[in-house]
């Protein structure tokens, strides 16, 4: 069961938003007696993993577990994968894969290992998709992106990808836990997300499934927080769109309906501006705890995005006294036509930052070149 944190209404496990007030639902599953409340814990990018599945407690002593995996094994905990990666614990799973925390026995570095399920490892379409993910993901090395580092296959036929191990709190959990986020925190996270997207978009790669569940809030050694974009597994290289459409014609839904842009809902060609729309929705939700389009069902909310204007930010939460300039920036980011939005993630992040600090809420600013300089070493 899921519960609305605002009004307390209970819903089934498949519901995501409250039909009364539009608030994102949280899990209402009871914990066993004596169990501790979940804490922010390791999570990693993975194609279909959910944030709840990425929570785990510290592993026990596993000296009695097998030293090597067996073909088709569902849980590789304790195994030595490909003679290199010691699997510490499972941190998530989905329909296509399992995700583990692992240690490189040579360097002692921690990684996230995404293992394709045994059934799909023999599926030509699934393998083609995984190889496409890997080829795109290995080009996305950036502090604000959890990228694919390596694609491998063991002698036993276990196919896996290696990613940085990202530890922190899922952004959707942060928003649900606090109800909403303060404007300075939101602008900081938006800037981080925009920097990661800027690199991807410069390579003609579109995320397609940008949402709070795919962003991690992490901490640097000095205690400052930063955001990392996860799960570029749905990423599409624009020049390869036709090929990828063939690969996903078997029923895999590319994207999450609650955060899809109007052009994505209509099945039209996409570019980086679809991610900007999704980031606008995310920003609105971070600031208010709610989404700007209302509906009793998911279908009604999607139709609202195609035909209606978003509920004005300050009308949704008038008691917060958010600046009018911030509302204008978000309204531009959430325009139905891509041509009417900010044209780059940098432009949106800078406009939001300027509006939040009392400056103008226009487009690009001198800060754009600073972001690009950090990205490309200038």
pLDDT of 5 reads: 67
pLDDT of 297 reads: 79
Over residues 228-237, mean pLDDT: 71
Neighbours of 226 (CB within 10 A): 18
Structural contact between residues 47 and 114, judged by C-beta atoms closer than 8 angstroms: yes
Residues pairing with 151 in the sheet:
161
Indicate the SS3 state at residue 263: helix
- Residue 58's nearest CA partner among 46, 42, 44 is 42
| The model scores a pTM over 0.85 | no
Maximum Cα interatomic distance, the chain, rounded to a whole number of Å: 63
Per-residue b or e along 171-181, where b marks 16 or more CB atoms closer than 10 Å to that residue's CB: bbbbbbeeebb
pLDDT higher than threshold 50 for residue 63: no
pLDDT higher than threshold 70 for residue 247: no
Structural contact between residues 254 and 248, judged by C-beta atoms closer than 8 angstroms: yes
pLDDT higher than threshold 80 for residue 18: no
pLDDT of 290 reads: 93
Indicate the SS3 state at residue 211: coil
pLDDT higher than threshold 80 for residue 359: no
The one catalytic residue in 173, 192, 209, 231 is 209
Better-predicted residue by pLDDT, 247 or 110: 110
123 catalytic per annotation = no
What residue ranges define each of the domains in the chain, with the CATH number in brackets? 55-165 (3.30.200.20), 169-376 (1.10.510.10)
Cα dihedral 229→235→239→244 (10° resolution): 180
pLDDT of 299 reads: 81
Task: Write the pLDDT tens digit of every residue in 79-130.
Answer: 999 999 999 999 887 767 788 999 999 999 999 998 887 777 777 887 887 7
Over residues 319-325, mean pLDDT: 94
pLDDT of 61 reads: 36
**Element (H or E) spanning 222, and its range?**
none
Structural contact between residues 172 and 286, judged by C-beta atoms closer than 8 angstroms: no
Better-predicted residue by pLDDT, 334 or 136: 334
Q: Is 168 left (phi over 0), alpha (psi -120 to 50) or beta?
A: left
Structural contact between residues 43 and 31, judged by C-beta atoms closer than 8 angstroms: no
Distance CA 127, CA 122 (A): 7
Backbone angles phi, psi at 323, to 5 degrees: -60, 140
Task: Write the pLDDT tens digit of every residue in 261-292.
Answer: 999 999 999 999 999 999 999 999 999 999 99
């Amino acid at each position: 069961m899921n519960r609305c944190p605002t009004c307390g209404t209970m819903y089934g496990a498949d519901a995501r938003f409250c039909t009364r007030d539009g608030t994102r639902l949280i899990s209402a599953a009871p914990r066993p007696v004596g169990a501790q409340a979940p804490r922010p814990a390791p999570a990693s990018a993975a194609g279909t993993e959910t944030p709840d599945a990425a929570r785990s407690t510290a592993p026990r002593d596993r000296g009695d577990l097998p030293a090597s995996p067996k073909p088709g094994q569902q849980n590789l905990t304790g195994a030595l994968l490909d003679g290199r990666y010691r699997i510490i614990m499972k941190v998530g799973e989905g329909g296509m894969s399992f995700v583990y925390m692992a240690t490189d026995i040579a360097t002692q570095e921690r990684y996230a290992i995404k293992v394709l399920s045994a059934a799909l490892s023999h599926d030509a379409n699934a393998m083609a998709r995984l190889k496409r993910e890997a080829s795109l993901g290995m080009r996305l090395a950036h502090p604000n992106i959890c990228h694919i580092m390596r694609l491998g296959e063991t002698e036993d036929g276990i196919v896996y990808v290696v990613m940085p191990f990202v530890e922190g709190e899922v952004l959707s959990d942060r928003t649900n836990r606090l109800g909403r986020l303060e404007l300075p925190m939101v602008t900081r996270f938006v800037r981080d997300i925009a920097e990661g997207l800027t690199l991807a978009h410069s390579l003609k790669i579109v995320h397609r499934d940008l949402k709070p569940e795919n962003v991690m809030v992490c901490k640097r050694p000095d205690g400052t927080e930063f955001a990392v974009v996860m799960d570029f597994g749905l990423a599409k290289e624009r020049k390869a769109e036709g090929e990828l459409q063939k690969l996903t014609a078997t029923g895999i839904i590319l994207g999450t309906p609650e955060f899809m842009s109007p052009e994505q809902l209509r099945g039209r060609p996409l570019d980086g501006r679809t991610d900007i729309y999704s980031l606008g929705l995310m920003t609105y939700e971070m600031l208010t705890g709610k989404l700007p389009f209302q509906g009793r069902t998911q279908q009604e909310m999607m139709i609202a995005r195609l035909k209606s204007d978003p509920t004005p930010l300050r009308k949704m939460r008038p008691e917060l006294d958010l600046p009018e300039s911030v509302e204008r920036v978000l309204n531009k980011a959430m325009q139905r036509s891509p041509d009417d939005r900010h044209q780059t993630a940098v432009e949106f992040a800078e406009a939001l930052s300027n509006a939040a600090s009392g400056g103008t809420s226009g487009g690009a600013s001198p800060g754009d070149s600073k972001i690009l300089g950090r990205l490309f070493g200038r």
